Structure 1
Amino acid sequence: MTNFRLHSLVANAKQMIRLHNKHQPDVPRGYLAVYVGEIQKKRFVVPLSYLDQPLFQDLLRRSEEEYGFNHPMGGLTIPCQEKAFIDLTALLQIS
């Protein structure tokens, strides 16, 4: 059940990324733009390979719980502190 939900979550995120990137030509192929922050949202461009990482998938789950698939910024919005997101992506770059 959890595996199916995770697969569905990643598939929906990928579909949203494809639609979003059509309108954002400054996002290189193989990357996605996300908006991070609790109050003030900041835009980050991260590699699609992060979608396969369990730590990033946890962020996607939190995003789904907070926003469903209706993201206020028009792109994938992740509800976490900017510093926590930067720390997490630094870990993902190392692994």
Structure 2
Amino acid sequence: MAIRQVLRRSLSSEKRSNSRGSADHVPKGHCAVYVGESEYKQRFVIPVSYLNHHLFQDLLCQAEEEYGFYHPMGGLTIPCSGDLFVDVTSRLRRI
């Protein structure tokens, strides 16, 4: 299954859970991140195992440079395009 399908499913299940009032639900072993370079940010739920990989560490360094320890969305915010994020997470999924 392609990463875009997985992320799309994650987003669609998030929309369903929003309608049921549990928008903040994140499955065990996962974390929510906000991705985007503009005011509009997309929310993705990713496995925590991604956080230790050097490709994802590069994104975390960008976030640190951009936001320090203040993340305006209230959660981990990564200042990159959604396409770049999907590319990185699709590479991590193949590993």
Q: Give me the TM-score of the superposition, normalised by structure 2.
A: 0.73
C-alpha separation between the residues in 2 aligned to 1:46 and 1:69?
20
> 1:1-95 alignment to 2 at 5 Å?
25-39=24-38, 40-95=40-95
Pairs aligned (count) = 72
Residues 51-93 of structure 1: per-residue CA shift (max 9 Å, x gap): 1100000100110000001000000000000000001100000
Residues 15-53 of structure 1: per-residue CA shift (max 9 Å, x gap): xxxxxxxxx751011100000011120000000000110
Residue identity matched to 2:57: Q
Residue identity matched to 1:38: E
Stretches of 4+ aligned residues off by more than 2 angstroms: none
C-alpha separation between the residues in 1 aligned to 2:83 and 2:74?
22
CA-based RMSD:
1.1
**What are structure 2's unaligned runs of at least 5 residues?**
1-22
Residue identity matched to 1:81: S
**Alignment correspondent of 2:18:** none
**Alignment correspondent of 1:15:** none
Q: Give me the TM-score of the superposition, normalised by structure 1.
A: 0.73
C-alpha separation between the residues in 1 aligned to 2:84 and 2:51?
17
Aligned to 2:71, the other structure's residue is in SS state coil
C-alpha separation between the residues in 2 aligned to 1:76 and 1:52?
15
Aligned to 2:59, the other structure's residue is in SS state helix
Between the two proteins, what is the percent identity of the paired residues? 60
C-alpha separation between the residues in 2 aligned to 1:85 and 1:72?
19
